[in-house]
Amino acid sequence: MAVKTETTPWTKPAGKPIAGKAVPRPARSAQVQAYLPELMKGLGLTMRHFFRNTKQMVLGQKPDPVLESLSEGITTIMYPEERRPYPARFRGLHRLTLRDDGSPRCVACLCCSTACPAQCISIEPAEYPEGDARRGYERYPGTFVIDELRCVFCGFCVEACPCDAIRMDTGNHPVPYDSRDQFIYRKDLLMSFASRDGQQLTENPRHEPGDATHPGITREQAGH
């Protein structure tokens, strides 16, 4: 809608109709024109903020920036000392879960490295030594390497894992390092991590060969 405006120094081009919606100019009342009353109001507002925030800092009453993110006040998190609690399903750095005897639950099936869209997982499977109850039934990861710099933290490896052997519940976000080598996490390091509540095991039971609950099937029975 074109609106015909009268010619004033503030409308350009003078006298030409303005295309589009006309925005009414604010009233230029004496109070606004005098500027000082409005300035004092503004000073009062800034001072109110200043005194409230300063008082909170002095008295140590800074509101919790996460809990009260929508309320007024300082919402800065002083990061290295103060941490924002991550949600329960936050995908942090990986860890390898352990069995009761401290060995990795991983059976080196390569599901995770197959599922990984970033191809950042590398596993070399190894056989248990002769005489071990698990030999012939399952293998273990000789090397287990994750390049955390390549990782996109999608969580597909966790979903793909049939043994609940890899998890991303450490609650640690990726850490900055000086060199690329330091982002290569190996088996020992991954096994040393714990979940956010300090667990290195998982709640899911594992039926070891020799247990009463184990069906007793081995690789030797594959050839019939």
User: Which residues contact another protein by CB under 8 A?
Assistant: 36, 39, 42-43, 45-47, 49-61, 63-78, 80-85, 87-88
CB of 201 to another protein, least distance (A): 22
- Spatial separation of the C-alpha atoms in residues 134 and 210, rounded to whole Å: 9
CA quadruple 62, 64, 69, 70: dihedral, nearest 10:
-70
Q: Which is nearer to another protein, 6 or 81 (CB)?
A: 81
Q: Which is nearer to another protein, 27 or 58 (CB)?
A: 58
Within 8 A by CB and 6+ apart from 143, the residues are: 122, 123, 124, 186, 187
CB of 87 to another protein, least distance (A): 6
CB of 190 to another protein, least distance (A): 19
Q: Which is nearer to another protein, 87 or 131 (CB)?
A: 87
The residue type at 76 = T
**Measured in whole angstroms, how far is the alpha carbon of residue 106 from the centre of its chain?**
24
CB of 195 to another protein, least distance (A): 14
Tokens of 22: 């006309």
